[in-house]
């Protein structure tokens, strides 16, 4: 289940807001310029490859590409029990920005985006069917959990993909890690 939790960025022990209502999440994040939507999901074969996943959501992906000017889309998929994922998890746990939007649609599984904006940290746990669009230069980090399980379609303006620009701020280490996977 999708969930938004908001803390002051200087008080990770003080929850100011928490909701799993998709309309409330979309409204709250929308006011900050963050896109949150839910798409209908489709059943995919366990061995569905990138082409099959993109084909299953082709109409939606093409519409989003046209609307946002995204030139490329790909799929990242991690299954429970994938060995040696701790290093990959650690790579995304530090606060960073990108020079382009970060757009993800969760086909299956879950992960948590942490967005630092307006003196607050907003944790959005994304699950199957959730679409998030984070504008370029937004400070954020991502936690896929200790035993990652997700499949996400990623959209890019630059076909070479995104490059993280780390801020060097240790703020991400102060907030709770994502531990539950859907």
- List, as one string, the DSSP characters of 54-101: HHHTHHHHHHHHHHHT--EEEEEEE-TT-TT-HHHHHHHSS-EE-SS-
Per-residue pLDDT reduced to its tens digit, 10-67: 999 999 999 999 999 999 999 999 999 999 999 999 889 999 999 999 999 999 999 9
Q: What are phi and psi of 61, to 5 degrees?
A: -65, -45
CATH architecture label of 3-168:
Sandwich (2.60)
Longest Cα separation, the chain:
44
- Judged against a pLDDT cut of 90, whether residue 107 lies above it is answered with yes
Q: If DSSP codes are grouped into helix, strand and coil, which group holds residue 156?
A: strand
Partnered with residue 116 across adjacent β-strands are 121, 139
For residues 98-113, give the mean pLDDT: 96
Band of residue 180 on the pLDDT scale cut at 50, 70, 90: low
- Judged against a pLDDT cut of 80, whether residue 141 lies above it is answered with yes
- List, as one string, the DSSP characters of 91-135: HHSS-EE-SS-EEEEEEEEEEEEEEEETTEEEEEEEETTEEEEE-
Partnered with residue 104 across adjacent β-strands are 132, 154
Band of residue 154 on the pLDDT scale cut at 50, 70, 90: very high
- Judged against a pLDDT cut of 70, whether residue 182 lies above it is answered with no
Closest residue by Cα to residue 148 from 97, 67, 87, 73? 87
Percent of the chain clearing pLDDT 90 (strictly above): 87
Per-residue pLDDT reduced to its tens digit, 113-124: 999 999 999 999
- The position carrying tokens 């907030």 is 175
Angle subtended at Cα 161 by Cα 71 and Cα 30, rounded to the nearest 5 degrees: 75
């Amino acid at each position: 289940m999708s969930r938004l939790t908001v803390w002051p960025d200087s008080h990770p022990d003080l929850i100011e807001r928490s909701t799993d209502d998709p309309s409330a999440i979309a409204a709250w994040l929308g006011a900050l310029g963050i896109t949150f939507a839910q798409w209908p999901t489709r059943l995919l074969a366990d061995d569905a490859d990138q082409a099959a996943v993109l084909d299953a959501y082709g109409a939606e992906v093409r519409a989003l590409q046209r609307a946002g000017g995204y030139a490329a889309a790909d799929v990242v998929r991690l299954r429970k029990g994938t060995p040696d994922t701790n290093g990959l998890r650690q790579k995304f746990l530090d606060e960073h920005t990108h020079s382009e939007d970060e757009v993800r649609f969760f086909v299956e599984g879950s992960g948590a985006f942490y967005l630092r904006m307006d003196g607050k940290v907003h944790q959005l746990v994304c699950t199957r069917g959730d679409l998030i669009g984070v504008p370029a230069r937004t400070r954020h980090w991502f936690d896929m959990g200790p035993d990652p399980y997700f499949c996400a379609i990623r959209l890019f303006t630059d076909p070479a993909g995104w490059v993280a620009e780390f801020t060097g701020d240790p703020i991400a280490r102060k907030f709770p890690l994502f531990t539950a996977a859907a």
